Structure 1
C-alpha cells in the first residue's frame, strides 16, 4: 500500500515539473502567443466531438431498443392473435411475456362473479391457481385501474402473492397494468357477469435474485401488450357470441324443420281424414236425401208427408254442415281459392229463394225478394260462393224466426254508404268496372242482445240471451260466411234493436261487371230451369258407374223413377265393356278404386271418335274443391253432379245437358 502511494506522489511531482518546463519553453518562444489560441481551439473541438459521439451512441442505443421492443410487440401480437379462444389468448400472453422479459412470475386477475373481488385466474408458473382473491377496492388496484400506463407497485402487494416467498433475496420490482374488457357483456354468459369494473389486472414480477430494474421501453411493451390482449379478447368474445348464435340458430332451424314436418304430417293426415270422411259422410247422406225425395213422390198420409219433409229438412241441414266443415278446413289451411266466372246475378237470388221457400213455408214464414233496378244481370265472381253466402245468411234468419217474414233486398252500394260498413277493419277500395253488392236480410224473429252481436261470427256461437239449448247456436254458417265475404273483399255485420225485435244481417261483396259477352258466353250461362222438371226422360238409356252399392242403388232408383232405362256397372273396366252408342248419358263416380272415373272418361272419349256419337259424361263426386274441378275439366266431362243430390237436382242437371245436346245432334 505504501509503495502505491509513493509512486502516485512521484508521478504528480514529475508531471508538474514537466508542465512547468513546457510553459517556460513556450513563454520564452517568440511564437507562443500565436500557438496558444490554436491549441485551445483544437482542444475545444475535441471535447465537442467526444460529447457528440456520446449522444449518437445513446440515440443508436435507443433506436436499437425501440426496434427490439417493436419486434417483441409484433411477435407477442402474432402469438396472441393466432387463436380466438380467450383462454388460450390469456395463457399465451403470460408465457410470451415471461419469455421475452425474463420474468419470475406473471399473473392475471379477473373480476369475480360477485363483482367485489378479483380472483387469480391465470399464472405463468402455477398451472391451476385456485382460491386466491383480493378485494377490488384496494387502493393499489384503484390506482392501477385509474391509469392508462403500467405502474410499479410494491412487491409486498396482495396482487403480487403468486411470487414464491424467499428470505434470501430481495424481491424484484413488480409492475401492474390494467387490461380493458371491451366486450364484457359476452363474458356474462360464461365466466364473468356484468360488473361495476371493466378491467382485469395483469401483474409482472422481475426475478428476485438480480438487481435488474424496469426500463421505460419494457413498460411501454407491457402497455401495448395489454391493449393487444384487450382487442384479442374482444374478438374472441364476438366469435363466441357468433358461434352461440349460430348454434342457437341451428337448434331453432332443426326445431322449426321438425315442427314444419309435423305440421305437414298433420295437414296430410287431416286432408286424408277429411277426404275419407267426405266420401263416407256424403254416401249415406246421398241415400237419405235421394230416397226421401223419392218417397215424397209416393202416396203418403199427411203425418207421413210431414215426417218425410222433416227427414229431408234435417238431411239438408246436415249436408250443409258437412259442406261448411270441409270449406272451413280449406279456409284454415289456405287451400281455398275463388272460382271466378261470369254468371247471372239475378238468377242466383231467385234460386236461393226457391231453395229456402220450402223450409220457410213449413214454418209459415213469408219470404220476399227485392232487386234494385240498376243491379247488373251478368257479373264476374264466384257464383257458388256467393250463393252459399246468401243461403247461409237467409237460412240463419229462417232458423231463428218462428213467425213473421223474411225480406231480402239487393242493390249496388252507394259510395257514400261505404264510409260506414259496420267495422273499422274494412277499407273498401273502389276500382274501374267493379262495384260493391249490398245485400240486406231482415227477419222478424227473436232478435239478439247487442252484447251478443260481436260473438255471432265465432264458430258455433250461442245466443246466451235466448238460451243455447233452444236456439241451437249459430253453427258454422255465419263464421264461414264472414271468411268467404272477406275473400271477396267485403264485410258483414249484424244490426238488432234488442230481444223480440227482429234482426238484420247486412253484407257487401266486390264483383266485376261482365261486359261485351259473346254469344257463346251467353249460351253457357245458366238459364231459368222452370221447365227442366217437365222434360221427358221416358226410355232414356243411361249407364251408372259407382263402386258403392248403396249409392249405385239410389242413383239407379232416381233415374228409374224419372223413366230412364238404367244399366249399372261397379267398376271402370265393367263400364268400358258395357258402354255403347245406345247410351245417351253415362254417370261416372270419380272416386272409384282401381281405374278411377277420370281414366274412364278419357277411355270413353277415345272409344267414340265422333263427339255426337259418344254419350254425355256426368261426373258424380262428393267434393267441389279446385283439384276435382280441374280434373273434370281435364277429362272434358259434360257435367258435374255433387253428392248428395235430390230428385229435383237430378232432373235439373239432366234436362240442361240434354237441351245442350239437341243442337249438336241436329247439325252433326
Structure 2
C-alpha cells in the first residue's frame, strides 16, 4: 500500500509537472480562438459595410444617371428625392428653394407629397445660416423648422436630420431678383430625415453620399437652367423674328401705299402747275403793260418754285426708299455749267448781282454720268447763293479735284482715287451774302431745317440741300459749306465722281455739236403737230405753246380719236404729243399702233410722250414702245422749243 501510494504520488507529481506546461498552451489556444472569432466578426461587419457602400455607390450611379438623363428641372428634383429616399431609407426628404426676393426659403418639393403646402422660412434663420456656411452635409436639430414636414405618427423620438446646401447657377435662371449678397451664389436647401423611433444614426459614408448627390444635382440644375435660358432666348428670338417680319410687311405695305399716293399726287400736283406755267409763258409773249408783265413774271416764278418743290419732294421720297437710280449718259461738262449759269442769269440781273463762271482748262470736255442730277445740284446751290445775296457777286468755279486741295474742315476725311475710267470734279459756289454761323452748319443738310440766320422771307423749304447731299452721295462724292460767319458770305463746295466716255461716243457727240443748225433752230413755222390729251385745258395750253412757236396744231381728246385723225389726214402730221394716260387707248397703245400703221420709218410721225411721272422706268417704257422723246410736265414755252429743237438736231423732223 505504501508503495502504491508512493507511486501514485509520483504519477501525480509528474502529471502536475506536465500540466504546468500544458495549461498555458491550452490557455493560448483558447485566446486565439476568441481572437479569431472577433476577427471573423469584424470581417463580417467590414464586408457588410463594403457591400453597403457598393450598394450605395450603385444607387449613386443610378441616381446620377437618372438625374443626367433629363434636363427638366422638376424631373431632376423629384428623381433626386425619390432615389435618395430609397437608397437611404428615409422617412422624408424635402427641398427648399429661394423666393424671388431672395429673403426666404420656400418648400418646393417633398418625398411624400406631390403638391406640398406652401411654407417659408427666413433665410437668416440660424439653422439655414449654419448649413449655408459649409459645403459639407450637416446634422441639424430635428426640431428645426425645416424638419417639421415629417409625418406626425405620435412617436416620441424623431429621427436624425441632415441639411445640405445645393448651389444654384445664376440669379436670373431661378428668377431671383434681389439676393441679399450678390457677390455670393444663391443656394437651395436639401433636408433628409431618418425614420423616427429608430436607433439608426447617420454614417460617414451616407453623409458623403448626400454631398456627392448634392453636387450632381447642382450640375444637373445648372445644365437645366442653361437649357431653359436657351429655350427662352430662342422663343424670344422667334417672337422678335415674327415681329420684325410683321413690321417688314407693314413697312412694305406702307411703301406701296406711299408710292401709290405719290403717283396720284404727282399727277394731281403737276397738272395745275403745268397749266400755270404754260399759260404764264404764253402771257409773257403777249403785249402787256409793265405792271401786268411784272405780275405775270411773279406768277411764272412762283409756279416754277412750286414745280421745283414738287420735284424735290418726289425725289426725296425716292432717295429715302432707295428707288432713285442715276441715269447715265455722255454730256459736255462746259455746256452743262454754262446752261446752269444761263438759267439763273435773269435772277441775278433782277437783283443786280455779278455772276461769273470759271472753268479749269484742264477739265475734260465730255463726261459720263447723270447730267440732269448734276445740273439740279448746281442750280440748287447757285439758287441758294442768289437767294441769300443782296449785293455783291456769285461765282461758280469748276475744276478737277486734286489731292493738294483743302478739305472740308467740319466733315470726315474724303479721299479721291482717280483712275483710267473715272475722275472727280470739284464745284464751288462763292457768294457775298448773309453767311452762316458755326452753330447753323450742322442743320444745313437736314430735311425741312433752316439756319436761324436765314430769314423766312426767302421762302426756303429746307429740303434743297438735303436732296443735293443725297445726290452727291449717289455720285460717290461729298458736299460741305464754308463760311467765316454771319454777314461774311459763304462757299458751298461739292465733289462728284464722273466716268470718262468711250472714244467713239465722244467723237459722235462732237460731230453732233458741230452739225449746223442742230440745236439752235427755233423756226417751226408750218410744222404740223397732233396733240393728244384728255384734259381740255391741257390741250389748250399745249396748243397755245406750239402755236406760239409757229406750228400748225390739231388737238384730240383720246387715243382713239388720234388714230382716226391719222387715218383721215394721211401723212400730214410730223409730230405727235401724246399724253400717256389718255382714256380708252393710252399713250403706249397709241405708239404701238402708230408703229404698226407706218411700216416705213421715214413716213412715221415723231412721237413725244407727255407725262407727269419722273420714274426712270416710265421713260424706258416710253422709248421701248417707240416714243422719240419724253416731255415732263410742267413745261414752259422754252422747254417745248428745246424739245422740238432736239428732234431737229437729231435730224428726226423734216418740216
TM-score by length of 1: 0.84
For residue 637 of structure 2, what is the aligned residue in structure 1?
647
Kindly indicate whether residue 90 of structure 2 is the aligned counterpart of residue 103 of structure 1.
yes
For residue 6 of structure 2, what is the aligned residue in structure 1?
none
Instruction: For structure 1, list consecutive stretches of 5 or more residues without a partner in the other structure.
Output: 1-19
Kindly indicate whether residue 591 of structure 2 is the aligned counterpart of residue 604 of structure 1.
no
Shift in alpha-carbon separation, 1:57–1:543, aligned structure 2, 3 A = farther
Give 1:217 deviation, angstroms. Answer: 4.2
Kindly indicate whether residue 474 of structure 2 is the aligned counterpart of residue 487 of structure 1.
yes
Instruction: For structure 2, list consecutive stretches of 5 or more residues without a partner in the other structure.
Output: 1-10
Matched residues in 2 for 1:351 and 1:164: separation? 102
Give 1:349 deviation, angstroms. Answer: 1.0
For residue 552 of structure 2, what is the aligned residue in structure 1?
565
Give 1:224 deviation, angstroms. Answer: 2.7
For residue 543 of structure 1, what is the aligned residue in structure 2?
530
Matched residues in 2 for 1:591 and 1:522: separation? 34
SS state at 2:621 partner: helix
Matched residues in 1 for 2:515 and 2:334: separation? 10
Kindly indicate whether residue 498 of structure 2 is the aligned counterpart of residue 508 of structure 1.
no
Matched residues in 1 for 2:124 and 2:639: separation? 92
**Match 2:260 to one of 262, 272, 275:** 272
For residue 308 of structure 1, what is the aligned residue in structure 2?
296
For residue 14 of structure 1, what is the aligned residue in structure 2?
none
Give 1:134 deviation, angstroms. Answer: 4.6
Shift in alpha-carbon separation, 1:466–1:604, aligned structure 2, 3 A = closer
Kindly indicate whether residue 202 of structure 2 is the aligned counterpart of residue 214 of structure 1.
yes
Give 1:519 deviation, angstroms. Answer: 6.7
- Report the RMSD for the aligned CA atoms in angstroms: 3.7
Superposed CA deviations along residues 183-218 of structure 1, whole A, max 9, x for unmatched, are 343113589897545322211111113333334443
Name which of structure 1's ranges 191-200 and 230-239 shifts more when overlaid on structure 2: 191-200
Matched residues in 2 for 1:665 and 1:40: separation? 152
For residue 341 of structure 1, what is the aligned residue in structure 2?
329
Give 1:388 deviation, angstroms. Answer: 0.5
SS state at 2:106 partner: strand
Give 1:450 deviation, angstroms. Answer: 4.5
Shift in alpha-carbon separation, 1:144–1:289, aligned structure 2, 3 A = same
For residue 6 of structure 1, what is the aligned residue in structure 2?
none
Give 1:167 deviation, angstroms. Answer: 5.9
Shift in alpha-carbon separation, 1:527–1:380, aligned structure 2, 3 A = farther
Contact 1:537–1:564 (CA under 8 A) maintained in structure 2: yes
Superposed CA deviations along residues 36-85 of structure 1, whole A, max 9, x for unmatched, are 99x99999999999899778756654553344223322433344445433
Superposed CA deviations along residues 492-536 of structure 1, whole A, max 9, x for unmatched, are 333344444443322222223335234774269778998746443
For residue 312 of structure 2, what is the aligned residue in structure 1?
324
Kindly indicate whether residue 542 of structure 2 is the aligned counterpart of residue 552 of structure 1.
no
Kindly indicate whether residue 623 of structure 2 is the aligned counterpart of residue 623 of structure 1.
no
Q: How does 1:99-498 map to 2 (within 5 A)?
A: 99-126=86-113, 127-136=115-124, 138=126, 140-165=127-152, 168-188=155-175, 196=184, 198-417=186-405, 419-433=406-420, 434-465=422-453, 467-468=455-456, 470-473=457-460, 475-498=462-485
Matched residues in 2 for 1:160 and 1:226: separation? 18
TM-score by length of 2: 0.86
Shift in alpha-carbon separation, 1:430–1:543, aligned structure 2, 3 A = same
Give 1:484 deviation, angstroms. Answer: 1.7
For residue 624 of structure 2, what is the aligned residue in structure 1?
634
Contact 2:167–2:185 (CA under 8 A) maintained in structure 1: no
Give 1:168 deviation, angstroms. Answer: 4.1
Matched residues in 1 for 2:511 and 2:259: separation? 33
Contact 1:529–1:652 (CA under 8 A) maintained in structure 2: no
Matched residues in 2 for 1:180 and 1:374: separation? 79
Matched residues in 2 for 1:618 and 1:503: separation? 42
For residue 584 of structure 1, what is the aligned residue in structure 2?
574
SS state at 1:204 partner: strand
Matched residues in 2 for 1:575 and 1:463: separation? 52
Matched residues in 1 for 2:171 and 2:516: separation? 82
